[in-house]
């Protein structure tokens, strides 16, 4: 790996590129499966609601896990405070995006005349989790995000309506980005620093890849401020 010889800016740029590449790979793979299917699923809002409720349950779990993780980070007496503050800021940002995901899923289920599953408010922490440290929380969150990314990709094989498919794809790609960032942190390939703390909302900047029509939501599809920051489209 070449990360050790890179500046922090270069490492973060490489991480963002990796996340985007994996997200595109997931999108292309799921699209290919739909194209190869001999018969598209017959639109079935009730069946979609069952799937969407399963995803909603996972989003609730992610929200509760990040909340629990913030408490574990705060109680870690061995970690330095700047690292704790930075990781907490990123965790809170990711939690807010999961909240947006949950809100969008709930709305779609209701639009389909379904009943969104109730939020238990409890985090489903594996019994094997025995590392109540900043590093342990990062690994726990990375594992949750990996599971979510895989779940959203798998759902694309059976979801039956275009509206639901668009939402699932838009969220799943973001879960992949969350996983990549956390994985790189867990492996020490990127580091939490003061610059990240002040710009935590730019770590995975949008909760959705495509505009899903939610009130007040920001999608990566139409994010001019990000393009300006990256100088991808300089004025002519």
pLDDT tens string 9-53: 555 555 555 555 555 555 544 544 444 444 456 788 889 999 999
Computed over every residue of the chain, the mean pLDDT equals 85
- pLDDT, average across residues 207-226: 84
The CATH number of the structural domain formed by 3-219 is 1.20.1260.10
pLDDT, position 209: 93
How much is the average pLDDT of 51-67?
A: 97
Q: Is the pLDDT of residue 170 over 70?
A: yes
How much is the pLDDT for 93? 97
122-141 confidence digits (pLDDT tens)? 999 999 999 999 999 999 99
Residue 60 has pLDDT above 90, yes or no: yes
* pLDDT for the residue 225: 79
> What CA–CA distance (Å, rounded) separates 141 from 153?
18
pLDDT at res. 5: 46
Q: Has residue 70 got a pLDDT over 80? A: yes
Q: Does pLDDT of 7 surpass 80?
A: no
Rounded to an integer, what distance in angstroms lies between the CA atom of residue 61 and that of residue 65? 6
């Amino acid at each position: 790996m070449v990360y050790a010889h890179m500046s922090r800016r270069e490492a973060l740029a490489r991480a963002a590129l990796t996340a985007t590449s994996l997200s595109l790979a997931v999108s292309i793979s799921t699209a290919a499966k739909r194209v190869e299917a001999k018969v598209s699923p017959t639109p079935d809002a009730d069946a979609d609601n069952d799937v969407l409720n399963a995803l909603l349950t996972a989003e609730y779990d992610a929200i509760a896990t990040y909340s629990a993780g913030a408490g574990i980070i705060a109680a870690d007496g061995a970690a330095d405070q700047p690292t704790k503050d930075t990781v907490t800021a990123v965790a809170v940002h990711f939690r807010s995006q999961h909240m947006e995901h949950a809100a969008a899923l709930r709305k779609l289920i209701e639009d389909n005349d379904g009943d969104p599953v109730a939020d238990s408010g409890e985090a489903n922490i594996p019994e094997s989790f025995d590392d109540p440290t900043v590093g342990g929380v990062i690994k726990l969150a990375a594992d949750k995000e990996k599971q979510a990314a895989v779940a959203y990709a798998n759902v694309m094989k059976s979801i039956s309506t275009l509206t639901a498919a668009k939402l699932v794809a838009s969220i799943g790609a973001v879960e992949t980005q969350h996983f990549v960032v956390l994985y790189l942190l867990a492996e020490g390939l990127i580091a939490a620093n003061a610059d990240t703390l002040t710009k935590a909302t730019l770590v995975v900047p949008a909760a959705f890849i495509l505009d899903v029509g939610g009130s007040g939501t920001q999608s990566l599809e139409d994010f001019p401020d990000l393009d300006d920051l990256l100088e991808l489209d300089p004025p002519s």
